[in-house]
């Protein structure tokens, strides 16, 4: 069994991104490029933390990935990939192997890396290569007449003839530490960039008659690096198409697979229909038989079964039980919990509130910091005035209450069970149960059930 240490090179500036942000912190599918690679490394070798070599904007990178257990190594001067790996040498044990990954190659799969490791003999060098039609920006693999690897030429140093080679170096290597200890200090910077190339190790291997084994990934995109925003967009769309196809094979209908973006950890049940321009961010759970309308954003949301989310709605940090209807143009904000068969209608905003079963808030309302009971009807234009400029205050509405249109509930306040609030009321005091409460200017009055019937 090979002892493996994984090192991720992430020190480069990424000048072709034309950005003030470090290249490895640019996002693909909602998370930094480097995070994709770290997750693959942790899945591949959970026993030891990955080593990440940083340089440009190193503190920002450390801060962005602080939620992972990582061995950080600093490359104070960016003098090439060989120099970067040399900085990590103190972290390697003599009898181990090193797997070299890159922070700007985000889609590398654990399955491919496992195959590279298992297919490389104990004392050989394994490397991942790929054939691409337009290999601009990549180093080329040189082979002899028998097909053996004899070297790697960085594109900046290629001749016109060498530029026609379509087999590229992905930069991903698997090799014994004992070779690195001899070869890394011996690297030269005799090239146009005056950098120490990790690729020159292959020349040392050939000179010393060490075996070099190559492997190509089944899908070439997983081995492609990102150097500019065009390449970033290409891999983003490739990743999204993969995700879309996986969910369609599992029983999800996507009206247009090209217009659904998955940017997090998603769990979707069967017989779910997702319309166009839907974004799923963070941790999203969608139960069976849901319908997600067009132009909708679900972020860190949990949806039960048989839920309809209508067009142009945002559900963020909320839990929604089965058989609810939300939207169109609804905004359900963090801390909201909806029980079964709740209706949240058009242009309704609700946050940090619990709404019990069969309650309806159908039109043009704002509900914040509230506990609302069962079978409550809240009329159009109702707002809870939950913020007094200093504190957020609570609104409590009992079962079967009826809130008339254009009503303001000035929290903290309790609306009793079965209470009726007249339209246009500004309610500043608790409303008693089973009574009609009206306000006129600053006066609030309640009428009992008998008076309501007589009226």
Active site residue 343: no
b/e burial code for range 188-202 (CB count within 10 A of at least 16 → b): eeeeeeebbbbbbbb
Q: Which residue bears the tokens 């001749």?
A: 159
Count of beta carbons in the 10 Å neighbourhood of residue 429: 12
Distance CA 326, CA 323 (A): 10
Kindly give the pairing relationship between strand 260-268 and strand 278-286.
Answer: parallel
List the 325-326 sheet strands across, edge first. 252-254, 272-274, 291-292, 308-309, 325-326, 343-346, 360-363, 377-378, 402-403, 420-421, 436-440, 443-447
Give the helix/strand (H/E) hosting 60: helix 58-64
The CB-side HSE value for 281 (13 A sphere, CA atoms) comes to 15
Pair type for strands 31-32 and 27-28: antiparallel
Structure tokens at 208: 């010393």
The active-site residue, picked from 56, 234, 363, 434, is: 363
Residues acting as catalytic residues: 363
């Amino acid at each position: 069994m090979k002892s493996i240490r994984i090192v991720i090179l992430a020190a480069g500036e990424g000048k072709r991104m034309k950005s003030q942000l470090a290249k490895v912190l640019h996002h693909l599918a909602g998370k930094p490029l480097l995070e994709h690679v770290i997750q693959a490394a942790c899945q591949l070798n959970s026993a030891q933390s990955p080593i990440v070599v940083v340089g440009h904007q190193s503190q920002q990178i450390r801060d962005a990935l602080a939620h992972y257990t990582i061995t950080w190594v600093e490359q104070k001067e960016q003098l090439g990939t060989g120099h970067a790996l040399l900085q990590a040498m103190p972290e390697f044990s003599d009898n181990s192997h090193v797997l070299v990954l890159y922070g700007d190659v985000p889609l590398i799969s654990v399955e491919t890396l496992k195959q590279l490791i298992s297919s490389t003999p104990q004392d050989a060098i394994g490397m991942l290569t790929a054939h691409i039609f337009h290999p601009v920006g990549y180093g080329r693999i040189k082979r002899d007449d028998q097909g053996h690897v004899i070297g790697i030429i960085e594109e900046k140093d290629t001749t016109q003839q060498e530029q026609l080679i379509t087999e590229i170096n992905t930069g991903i290597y698997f090799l014994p530490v004992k070779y690195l200890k001899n070869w890394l200090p011996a690297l030269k910077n005799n090239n146009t960039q005056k950098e120490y190339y990790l690729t020159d190790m292959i020349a040392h291997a050939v000179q010393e008659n060490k075996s070099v084994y190559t492997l190509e990934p089944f899908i070439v995109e997983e081995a492609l690096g990102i150097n500019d925003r065009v390449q970033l967009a290409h891999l983003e769309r490739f990743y999204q198409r993969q995700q879309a196809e996986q969910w369609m094979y599992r029983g999800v209908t996507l009206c247009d697979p090209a217009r659904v973006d998955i940017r997090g950890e998603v769990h979707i049940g069967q017989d779910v229909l997702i319309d166009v321009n839907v974004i799923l961010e963070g941790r999203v759970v969608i139960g069976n038989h849901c319908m997600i309308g067009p132009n909708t954003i679900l972020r860190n949301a949990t949806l039960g079964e048989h839920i309809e989310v209508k067009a142009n709605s945002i559900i963020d940090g909320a839990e929604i039980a089965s058989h609810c209807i939300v939207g169109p143009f609804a905004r359900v904000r963090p801390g909201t919990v909806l029980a079964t068969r709740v209706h949240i209608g058009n242009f309704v905003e609700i946050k940090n509130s619990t709404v019990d079963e069969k309650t309806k808030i159908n039109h043009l309302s704002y509900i914040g910091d509230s506990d609302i009971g069962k079978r409550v009807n809240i009329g159009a234009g109702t707002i809870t005035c939950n913020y007094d400029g200093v504190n957020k205050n609570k609104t409590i509405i009992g079962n079967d209450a009826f809130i008339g249109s254009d009503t303001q509930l000035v929290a903290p306040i309790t609306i009793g069970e079965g209470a009726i609030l007249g339209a246009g009321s500004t309610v500043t005091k608790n409303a008693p149960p089973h009574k009609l409460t009206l306000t006129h200017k600053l006066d609030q009055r309640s009428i009992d059930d008998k008076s309501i019937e007589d009226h």
